[in-house]
Structure 1
Amino acid sequence: MIDSLRKHVSPGWVLVAPFLMLVVVLYLGPILNILWLSLTDPEPGLQNYQKLYTNDTLLRIIWTTFRICLITTIISVAFGYSIAYAMVHAHKKRQKLMLTLLLVSFWISILVRTFSWLMLLGHNGLLNNALETLNIISEPVAFVRNELGVLIGMVHYMVPYAVLPLLVNMQTLDTRVMSASRNLGATGSQTFFRIYLPLTKPGIVAACLLVFILSLGFYVTPAILGGGKVLMVAEYISVQLLVTLKWGTAAMLAALMLFGVLALLYIMSKFMKLSTVFGGSTS
């Protein structure tokens, strides 16, 4: 039996197996504990999940989260598509510069970005002061402590994530197809809408799902730019854990987000390999 096992299992797995088991225990353990809490706290049953149908506040928070994430996704992918298109068709030197700037954006903390937007868009921020100086407005415009501020901060953070899958998808396209379309008499707009855009649909779907998934877990940006007036699921989970101590409700929402993300990842895998979203090989 041992000889048969050696034929099917590489010796390298003997070295990797302990570390793999450790990762599985440390990763799956907390997830299983969350699922258990959602079914047992404060008492065994499905009462936490029944709140999805009976608690108006909870339903409103889930709807707010979904709406903001959807708007963020649409705007981010629109900007991301334009940036990716420009990068693919730019000169090699400019393409490298644009890619460098894109990667640099990942190194800036979300907390730093959020406070920067707060200083820029606040009542006494740079934008309002400039508009008042130019006599364009007579009193400060409320750019923050509302959904507008949250959307601005989230879109700014999410655009680079939208660019990645779109850029990978566009780089794999056969440019000869577009050249053939133009040689056959199609205009630039006809080539784009009838040939180029349909070929980039997998990248668009992957970008939409990636941005939407990441947006679901936003906490810092809504908390700071929303000023407590725009409550999303991640912040509500924090309130349930730290303020009201309703761990069962928090665990239920966390489980709901987990299953939602897994479902979206499964859908994404149908359109594009998940590795390519982060720049992996497409083969």
Structure 2
Amino acid sequence: MQALTRHISPGWLLVAPFFLVVVAFYLGPLANILWLSVTDPEPGLGNYEELVTSDAMARILWTTFRTCAITTVFSVAIGYCLAYAMVHAHQKNQNIMLTLLLISFWISVLVRTFAWLMLLGHNGLVNNGMEAIGLIDRPVRFMRNELGVLIGMVHYMVPYAVLPLMANMQTLDPRVMAASRNLGANGVQTFRRIYLPLTIPGLVASSLLVFILSLGFYVTPAILGGGKVLMVAEYISVQLLVTLKWGTAAMLGTLMLIGVLGLLWVMSRFMQLSAVFGGGATR
């Protein structure tokens, strides 16, 4: 026992029970999902074969990837503008903007989705407003299609795009940009040749974070898509609750887990993961 305490800090003995609880209640279910993916309905890789043999599976995966990619592009573009404005604003205005950004995290995704349902519906505020000013003569179909899903997802993901970009921009030395202007570069040239390249790690981290979180969207596609925009998370729910194909659901869950872990590893190459939430600096 004495030999053991010489190599292991006593602090680890205090956290050991909690660590065992995490292993039992977190890693245990994950291991069970991995096991189900290769044993249900029969042992083997039959569930994984569906990835290359099923046209329906290919459509769902492509819809998920396309929707997440488009969401990432628009969220990061809007988030970059917001982060740039926040970093260069006066300290008082910056605090106000940051507070408003953080407040958005407290609003449930279900509340946001139903708000968009009211705004973009057939007789919603957006359609009625555009008809009133003569922009359209018939309501635009925002709901029950990919457009409505993208609007809802982008709205939810913009704050997540802002955080890593802000963490990256706040580490930049303003003297570098000042030196560029002193050497004769105008604002556009300084931004394009100096500022933008220096923020590439933040752009990559922001894009990966938004893409990872978008992969697991369930409520927004289900409500705004009206069942016509089927993504992986909703398909997993169908397999579990309707068709009772637990093996297929476990296979898709395993696929998403591996994909997310891979993307997190790529993100860690560009930015410390703690910096995504303002806890560290870029590499």
Q: TM-score range by the shorter chain?
A: over 0.9
SS in 2 for 1:141: coil
Distance in 2 separating the partners of 1:272 and 1:219: 28
* Partner in structure 2 of residue 131 of structure 1: 130
* Partner in structure 2 of residue 66 of structure 1: 65
Amino acid at match of 1:150: V
* Partner in structure 1 of residue 21 of structure 2: 22
Distance in 2 separating the partners of 1:268 and 1:215: 15
SS in 2 for 1:193: helix
* Partner in structure 1 of residue 108 of structure 2: 109
Distance in 1 separating the partners of 2:199 and 2:6: 44
* Partner in structure 1 of residue 171 of structure 2: 172
The alpha carbon displacement at 1:132 in A equals 1.9
SS in 2 for 1:229: coil
Asked whether 1:182 is paired with 2:181, we answer yes
- Summarize deviations over 1:27-76 as a string: whole Å, max 9, x none: 11111111111000000010000000110001000000000000000000
Unaligned runs of 5+ residues in structure 1 are none
Amino acid at match of 1:162: A
Asked whether 1:147 is paired with 2:146, we answer yes
Unaligned runs of 5+ residues in structure 2 are none
The alpha carbon displacement at 1:149 in A equals 0.2
* Partner in structure 2 of residue 201 of structure 1: 200
Distance in 2 separating the partners of 1:34 and 1:195: 47
Distance in 1 separating the partners of 2:197 and 2:179: 16
* Number of equivalences: 282
* Partner in structure 2 of residue 4 of structure 1: 3
Distance in 2 separating the partners of 1:134 and 1:185: 47
Please give the root-mean-square deviation of Cα atoms over the aligned residues, in Å: 0.9
Identity of aligned residues (%): 74
The alpha carbon displacement at 1:135 in A equals 2.9
The answer to which of 75-84 and 124-133 deviates more is 124-133
TM-score scaled to structure 2, two decimals? 0.98
Distance in 1 separating the partners of 2:184 and 2:110: 51
Asked whether 1:235 is paired with 2:230, we answer no
The alpha carbon displacement at 1:281 in A equals 2.6
Amino acid at match of 2:113: T
